[in-house]
Amino acid sequence: MCGIIGVENNDSAAVLTAAGLLTLQHRGEESAGITISGKEKMKTFKEMGLVSRIFNEETLNKLPGTAAIGHVRYTTSAKSSLTNAQPFQINCIHGNIAVAHNGNITNFFKIKHMLLKKGAIFSHTSDTEILLHLIAMSKGNLANIVADSIRKLEGAFSLVILKDKTLIGARDEHGFRPLALGKLDNSYILSSESAAIEVIGGTYLRDIDPGEIIVIENGRIKKSFFYKKPKEQSTCIFEQVYFSRSDSIMFGKSVKEARIKMGEYLACQMKNVKADIVMPVPDTGYFAALGFSRTSNIMFENGFVRNHYVGRSFIKPSQNLRDLTAKLKLRPIKEVVNGKKIVLVDDSIVRGTTSKRLIDILREAGAKKIHFALSCPAIISSCYYGIDTPNKEHLIAANKSIEEMRKYLDLDSLTFLSLDNLVKACSCDNKKEKLFCTSCFTGKYPTKISKERI
Ligand code: AMP
């Protein structure tokens, strides 16, 4: 997964972009980068690591300009390395152009093969590189170049593209990945999440529509058009479940509200369960647990202390360090859980390893009964549109029945939110709309997936 942002017509473009990237840090912790233009020659600065480590006064002072795009990366399709870090800046017949991409291009291998046959040279393993070649080979004005290039792509892409003072935003025809538009004084902002627009002082205006290209320059929307007739919308429902910040508006709905609703529906599904407390797994389980507690009238309790300083790769989990890793990140408060019948609420089970460790340490702290409630259905299929789900053989729900999972995780009960309830929770005005990609729960994909990827 990745986070992207673009800011134009602003003397503080680099600082605002860096602040936006900090807000989007949860979408990718492996690398971060900013490309700046509008004053001097286009320049890109990117490194491996966290935004706060890469961008400081010194590095930002070296990025003068009025328009910028930024990217944070969490590898899903290619190697995690500086060569694959974005934005990608190229110099081609159209001048200097930079691109930042969120999503996975599903016909990547087919297009790469076609380009290789034409003599193209590749230096990255990222799927975004094919877009750079397509841009370099297209003709016309910038908007036409972008439209012509992305018309050839299939799969998931939200893009911010920069050339001189022009900022372009685009979303694939299904709208898998988000892209929001905002305004800050005389500047427009594009961002994966509305929270980043608001954090930097802007106002969220709307989402870029599936299939839309928007061209922004000098604080004005120059043009907005559809590069292809939009297909039936398939926005990723996992954004609401897990990925997005709770203070974002995602596909027209507050993420916090959607998560509260997920918890309310879960409480209805589990109305026969008797428990003393409802406890979230921090942070994503928080609002679903709140919704559960309000509907069930079972007391909400915070039974975990989370250590925010534990990085993803602090310790590579080996058998004997498993408990240490789990306890370093989340530690149960014994006084809260000891002797209690608990409804534990989390967003999802992927491999099952995190849940197993959490439940083990809760039992160790004296939990009497654990009813595990998940605010989405069982994940049985990999994502080809940009969420990092492992291959099917590593997805616990693809290989075990719910009863087998319950036993393996040592639970008193295990309940997944039904797909119907999840769709209702994420839909606007409680209407059940066919707007979401739910392929990780159903195995039914809205686009063709080329064989090489499977
Ligand atoms: P596990 O079942 O051990 O693979 O871990 C599942 C937990 O990881 C969930 O409760 C989420 O909080 C989190 N999670 C879910 N999807 C992802 C993802 N694509 N990348 C990173 N973490 C995730």
For residue 394, the 8-state DSSP code is: G
Question: How far, in Å, CA of 381 to CA of 194, rounded?
Answer: 29
Residue 283: asked if its preceding bond is cis (omega within 30°), the reply is yes
Whole-number Å distance, alpha carbon 350 to ligand 1 midpoint, is 6
For atom 21 of ligand 1, the residue with the nearest CA is 388
pLDDT, one tens digit per residue, over 189-238 is 999 999 999 999 999 999 999 999 999 999 999 999 999 987 888 999 99
pLDDT digits (tens, 9 = 90+) for 35-92: 999 999 999 999 999 999 999 999 999 999 999 999 999 876 666 788 889 999 999 9
Distance 213 CA to ligand 1 centre (A): 32
* Residue 30 DSSP label: S
Q: Tell me which residues have their CB closer than 6 angstroms to ligand 1.
A: 242, 284, 346-355, 387-389
Alpha helix (H) ranges present in 118-193?
129-137, 142-150
**Sign (positive or negative) of CA dihedral 265, 253, 168, 91:** negative
Handedness of CA 114, 226, 97, 243 (dihedral sign): negative
Q: How far apart are CA 391 and CA 374, in angstroms?
A: 21
| pLDDT value of residue 323 | 63
pLDDT 10s digits, 397-417:
999 999 999 999 999 999 999
Q: Are strands 277-280 and 299-300 parallel, antiparallel or unpaired?
A: parallel
**pTM for this model (two decimals):** 0.94
The residue from 2, 236, 383, 426 that is catalytic is: 2
Structure confidence at residue 39 (pLDDT): 93
Residue nearest to atom 18 of ligand 1 (CA): 388
**What is the CA(243)–ligand 1 centre distance, in A?**
9
Nearest-atom number in ligand 1 for the CA of 354 is: 3
Own/partner long-range contacts of 325-331 (Cβ < 8 Å, ≥24 apart): 325/357, 326/354, 326/357, 326/358, 326/360, 326/361, 327/361, 330/281, 330/282, 330/304, 330/305, 330/306, 330/358, 330/361, 331/304, 331/305, 331/307, 331/361
Q: Is 20 helix (H, G, I), strand (E, B) or coil?
A: helix
Query: Which residues of the chain are under the pLDDT cut of 50?
Result: 313-315, 317, 454
CA 324 to mean position of chain CA atoms = 28
Nearest ligand 1 atom to alpha carbon 357 = 3
Out of 242, 244, 388, mutate this one to test ligand 1's pocket (max ligand atoms within 8 Å of CB): namely 242
Which atom belonging to ligand 1 lies closest to the Cα atom of 356? Answer: 3
* pLDDT given at position 313: 47
- Residue 399 Cα to ligand 1 midpoint, Å, equals 17
2 belongs to the catalytic site:
yes
